[in-house]
Amino acid sequence: MKNLNIGILGLGTVGTGVFRLVNQNEALLSRRLGQALRIKKIADIDIKSDRGIPIPENLLTTDAYQVIDDPDIDIIIETIGGDTVAKTFILDAMANGKHVVTANKALLAKHGKMIIQQASENNVELGFEASVGGCMPIIKTIRESLVGNTILGFKGILNGTCNYILSQITHERVSYEAALAEAQQKGYAEADPSLDVNGDDTAHKLAIISSLSYGKQVKLDDIYTEGITQITALDIQFAHQFGYCIKLLAITKMTEKAVDIRVHPAMIPYSHMLSNVNGSYNALSIIGDAVDEMVLYGHGAGMMPTASAIVSDIADIARNIQVSAPNRISTLANAARNTQPINVLPITEINCRFYFRFTAIDSPGVLSKIAGVLGKYDISIDCVHQKGRKSREGVPIVMLTHQAKEADVRAAFSEIQALDVVWEAPVLIRIED
């Protein structure tokens, strides 16, 4: 049985997970693949720290090029992250004829086009299942299982940190700050959580799957992105009273003239599958013209789930090597070399239902003033909550609207904010039914 030699760049959580999984299920993998997977070399700047699993010293090096330039290595796993050295290493590995598997969403979202081109020029494969949704087979499902479908859109919870924080505020009634601190303590959030809580990580993932699904280049800058830092326990409680929970969603829908693509907190009804996605779990709802709605759910991050996705890419490449068919499915299977940027619908053009919370003085005419401005902009109110919660900071007036246009909502908000009865900047949360 031929060995397939693997090199790993980056021995953090995910890199260690790949080492652990390939060793733990070695016999099973050999049987399933008809060839043995052997981790030949691992590079990391720190080869001294304990990874909680014995790793033979002779596998370790601090020099990435001992992996990249090793002629015996067939596949290189990049688990460094970020878009600086990781990019150089991947491009050099491909130039050396190595297949590459990566979990690096930031890199792919920013430089995917260049990396895919490098893979194509060197006739090597690029595996990136682990870059979106951890263990969930999102990339494989889009490229292979839904091959017969026109993809019409997605709705996804793609960041475990944000979902953990929002779940804790919802179910444990803690503050945003307390939930974030807890997430950091449990290792779900980085010391600097901004990439997660600002929605950028979710936007990276959305850029990857929408490019793949629509067969056109989706630029990161074109994705309207709003994080969860403004979400309060108060809004989560009001949402709950209306039968909704609040999740950070990646949303995209194909419309006739352009693609609606955005990342922001949204209210989803408790009857929808995504409302039951709690803690650090992720889920993606995919709409295809034949399948209607399909949902994938699983751990979107973590050592072993991410390693599982990486190993599935290794297995695909191993099977292709075995039958001498690298790139049996081209990286952008759905794109047909069409890397034109996609036409994006401006956020002001979207139509949806909205949740508003105004903080106003507690006097009889206030609601009528606010409603008057909304009416002027054709924003029709579905229901209003005005009871209780009186405080020095004013009384909250909460409402859900019928379908309205974001541009109209923004215009109305400017006028409402200028009213002398309204005290704070109004809160707006989009509703996804």
Residues in contact with its own copies by the rule CB under 8 A = 21-22, 24-25, 28-29, 31-33, 129, 135-137, 140-141, 144-150, 215, 271-273, 275-278, 283, 288-299, 304-305, 307-309, 311-312, 314-316, 319-320, 322-325, 328-329, 333-334, 336
Helix (H) or strand (E) holding 351: strand 351-360
From residue 163, how far is each of 71, 173, 239, 295, 296 by CA, in Å? Answer: 43, 14, 16, 17, 16
**Contacts (Cβ under 8 Å, ≥6 apart) of 325:** none
Instruction: Using the minimum distance from each CB to its own copies, give the nearer residue, 236 or 309.
Output: 309
205 counts as catalytic: yes
Q: Is 390 exposed, middle or buried (0-12, 13-18, 19+ CB in 10 A)?
A: exposed
Q: Is 411 exposed, middle or buried (0-12, 13-18, 19+ CB in 10 A)?
A: middle
Q: Where do the DSSP E strands lie in 130-236?
A: 151-157, 224-225
CA 86 from centroid of its chain's CA atoms = 20
Q: Are 113 and 339 spatial neighbours (Cβ–Cβ below 8 Å)?
A: yes
Closest listed residue to residue 214, CA positions, set 155, 256, 151: 151
Active-site pick, 205, 216, 247, 405? 205
Helix spans in 267-324 (H): 303-322
CB of 3 to its own copies, least distance (A): 17
End-to-end CA distance of the chain: 53
CA pair distance 227, 166, nearest whole angstrom: 11
Q: Are 136 and 109 spatial neighbours (Cβ–Cβ below 8 Å)?
A: no
Q: Are 294 and 315 spatial neighbours (Cβ–Cβ below 8 Å)?
A: no
Residues labelled catalytic:
205
